[in-house]
Amino acid sequence: MGAARRRRWQLLSPALLIIGLFGLFPLTITLVYSFLSPGSYGGVRWEFSTDAYVQFLFDRDIFDDTLSFSATYLNIFARSIGLALGATIGSLIIGFPTAYFIASKPANQRNLWLFLITLPFWVNLLIRTYAILLIIRDEGIINLSLIWTGLIDQPIGILYTDTAIFIGLIYSYLPFMVLPLYASLEKLDFRLVEAAYDLYASRLQVLRHVIVPMAKPGIVAGCILVFIPALGAYITPDLLGGGKQLMIGNLIALQFGGSRNWPFGAAAALILMVVVMVSLTVYVRYSGKEGNGRG
């Protein structure tokens, strides 16, 4: 028994080493830095301080050192969560019928459609985001087409707004929603759909009671795969938001760059991680209780 256990640990040791070296070790450095004082020209001073976490909620007066509540960073987090949720819902609305369409195709045609879905990943995210910028700008295809058709007289100001970031996030992470949904819908027995129609179920009833329950694992996986990277997105809000609409990723990068406040950047990154972990934990527990209740 002891030899078998040692054998398992030997097989696990490479993976544990990689997780510790590239996961836990950088996370530990970030945690330590968040409780230090910022250096004058970047970096940190090895003096214990909780100012990075205090700064997240309060502004310190430079004259009398008093604290006053400030919602600046809370607003950035709220905007980021709202945009990430919106991108997740938008990706689900677009991705579900797309995945169902692919799953309903003959087996010899599905690979072609999956290839087309994954094709954008062959191009760097920066280039794809810049392509969206060229499409939605004032002189882009959308505005020029609307002006040419006479629907509008002046360009619609989409670029450098939350709407532009929303569009960019959906475009960037839509395949992350389609692929898990397709993996679930591919296993769907379409004879169940036909049986539901034979029992005079409407399309909405078939969707709610047959298709969606079968696709629930894909919906959950797709929402997680879209929400988490969208919450910490950096390139999309930086290009399409023009630096005017900050998200959490931009805030963290700004602290390690121009602001030279590494402890606050580390604290913001840890707060983001805690928000994500708490949200996922609550969701998993809620899903588990719901599943046990139905069982």
Type of residue at 183? A
Q: Is the pLDDT of residue 34 over 70?
A: yes
Res. 146 pLDDT band, cuts 50 70 90 = confident
Of the chain, the end-to-end C-alpha distance in Å amounts to: 37
pLDDT of residue 226: 93
| Category of 66 on φ-ψ map: left (φ > 0), alpha (ψ -120 to 50) or beta | beta
> H/E/C letters for each residue in 9-25?
HHHHHHHHHHHHHHHHH
Res. 294 pLDDT band, cuts 50 70 90 = low
Q: Is the pLDDT of residue 293 over 60?
A: no
Type of residue at 31? L
Q: Are 236 and 248 in contact (CB under 8 A)?
A: no
- Alpha helices, DSSP H, located in the chain: 2-19, 25-33, 51-57, 72-103, 107-118, 125-136, 141-149, 162-185, 190-198, 203-206, 212-231, 235-240, 248-256, 262-294
Q: Check residue 161 and report its DSSP letter.
A: S
Domain boundaries, the chain: 76-261
Going from the C-alpha of 286 to that of each of 181, 187, 221, 272, the distances in angstroms are 21, 25, 15, 21
Q: Check residue 59 and report its DSSP letter.
A: E
Quote the CA–CA distance of 245 and 229 in Å, as a whole number.
17
Tell me the two tokens of residue 287: 């899903």
C-alpha dihedral, 279 to 280 to 281 to 284, nearest 10°: 130
Q: Measured in whole angstroms, how far is the alpha carbon of residue 44 from the centre of its chain?
A: 30
Average pLDDT over residues 224-243: 89
Average pLDDT over residues 59-76: 84
179: closest CA among 84, 106, 96, 112?
96
pLDDT of residue 99: 93
Q: Output the CATH code of domain 76-261.
A: 1.10.3720.10
Quote the CA–CA distance of 44 and 54 in Å, as a whole number.
17
Q: Is the pLDDT of residue 238 over 60?
A: yes
